[in-house]
Chain A
Amino acid sequence: MIDFHLILEKLPAFLGGADGQPLLSTSDGIVMTLQLLGASLLLGMLLAIPLALGRVSKNRLLSGSVWLYTYIFRGTPLLVQLFIIYYGLSQFDAVRASWLWQYLQDAWFCAILAFTLNTAAYTTEIIAGQIRTTHWGEIEAARAMGMSKWLMMRRIVIPSALRRALPAYSNEVIMMMQSTAVAGLVTLADITGVARRIYSDTYMAFEPFLVAGAIYLALTFLFVWLFKQAEQRWLAYLAPRKH
């Protein structure tokens, strides 16, 4: 029933080696998925830290606008966000005439933009939640040392909140890794995109998506393991005492 020859023959396609080309001759497949994930996680984190500070700010206007942003991006499907950016923006002549158009035409750029804005919204809420639950003793100690507000944020509050955010952030990373699969729906050749291409070439559905699923599963286990190591390194001080 399952054609193992097809699986073996098409396996290199998931590592940039379609049609007998050497492996990694293109970035198709796993590399594309990891690229999209890595770029959007990095940019998303850079956005999320200042946004989280805005979210916990006492200024109602600032915290309210950040809330509105995270509410909208967390309340709508990533696919719709991607379609608004990739298909939607072309509706405006001003956008098509601007220098931005060369980027907004590109599926890869649009995918990273949509993924970044999406993961930044979730990450903002995760970090803001941890900033709010910072132990009062840490703040009091920082104040007693005469730290200014920003110095305290930079040296005490943010590092401590980021460490405590690790368990929730690991879920977000794994969810995001799986969400990048929608890139395959806007012509990109990520893991899902490669599987869809094999499907349309061979009319075999089970095999390519079985392989794609197995690759995602392996990546999920890899990330679970990596974050476990990270938690042991950075959250060891919160672990229950063993003796």
Chain B
Amino acid sequence: MFLHGYLPSILDGAVLTLKLAAAALAVSVLLGLIGAMFKMAPSKALRTLAELYSTVVRGVPDLVWMFLLFFGVQMLLNDAATAMGWAAPDIDPFIAGVLTLGFIFGAYMTETFRGAIMAVPKGQMEAGAAYGMGPLRIFLRITFPQMVRFALPSFTNNWLVLVKSTALVSVIGLNDVMYRADAAKSNTQEPFTVYMLVALIFLVITSVSNILLGMLERRYSTGLKENGL
């Protein structure tokens, strides 16, 4: 039998990996939008905060962030709980993984969105204001639909790096595809087959993402006048 019946277990892990990546993407987009707005805010304190976030997070490997946030924060929470006389809280590894990856990639998204918003001509927003739109409506109706085209290439790249980074979360004890593969490796004595299968799963995810995001890119470039070369 192929992989002694470990195939379903690995595929289950792959589903968890996908869920984790999708949830982390949502967190990172939210943090990225906030970060980009802070970076362009009139307040110097907000700008410095966003600059610090995007620089420090991008300057440290994601693996180190995972160890630091997962083990470190858990330990701090334990200490705090003991000091308060409470029971030590249990952090769910899935939530921890989502928040950690979302926190890391939020920094990359901050740069993506900042560049994209700056690429939308200022007159567009001013026109919105002239029509009496509020800041939120201007963002949703005018800035956002136009910035998507500029943000998509870098967004695609961030998503692909994020998907590949999920391979690291098994270090914090999540039952993801790498964790299942490790169990299958020990029990089947077929490490090559197991990890090739994992590689294939990741290749399928990244390929499908490339195709879908490429279609989206064309969709958001409709009406764009090409130089005709």
Interfacial residues, chain A to chain B (CB-CB below 8 A) = 1, 72, 75-81, 83-84, 87-92, 178-179, 181-182, 184-185, 192, 195-196, 199, 204-206, 209-210, 212-213, 216-217, 220-221
| Cβ-defined contact, B206 with A75, below 8 A | yes
Question: Who on chain B is nearest to A177 by CB?
Answer: B61
Contact of B75 among A91, A181, A205 (CB under 8 A): A205
Cβ–Cβ < 8 Å partners of B74 in chain A: 205
| Cβ-defined contact, A84 with B192, below 8 A | yes
| Cβ-defined contact, B198 with A216, below 8 A | no
CB of B158 within 8 A of chain A?
no
| Cβ-defined contact, A206 with B64, below 8 A | no
| Cβ-defined contact, A206 with B178, below 8 A | no
Cβ–Cβ < 8 Å partners of A206 in chain B: 68, 71-72, 75-76
CB of B59 within 8 A of chain A?
yes
| Cβ-defined contact, A184 with B206, below 8 A | no
23 A–B contacts from the bound complex (CB under 8 Å): A1-B79, A75-B160, A75-B206, A77-B165, A80-B178, A80-B198, A80-B202, A83-B181, A84-B192, A91-B189, A91-B193, A181-B61, A184-B63, A192-B64, A196-B67, A199-B67, A205-B72, A206-B68, A206-B72, A206-B75, A212-B64, A216-B61, A220-B59
Question: Who on chain B is nearest to A216 by CB?
Answer: B60
| Cβ-defined contact, B64 with A77, below 8 A | no
Question: Who on chain A is nearest to B66 by CB?
Answer: A209
| Cβ-defined contact, A77 with B192, below 8 A | no
Q: How far in angstroms is the closest Cβ of chain B from A7?
A: 13
Cβ–Cβ < 8 Å partners of B192 in chain A: 84, 87-92
| Cβ-defined contact, B72 with A182, below 8 A | no
| Cβ-defined contact, A83 with B195, below 8 A | yes
Question: Who on chain A is nearest to B188 by CB?
Answer: A91
A181 CA / B64 CA spacing, docked (Å): 8
| Cβ-defined contact, B60 with A84, below 8 A | no
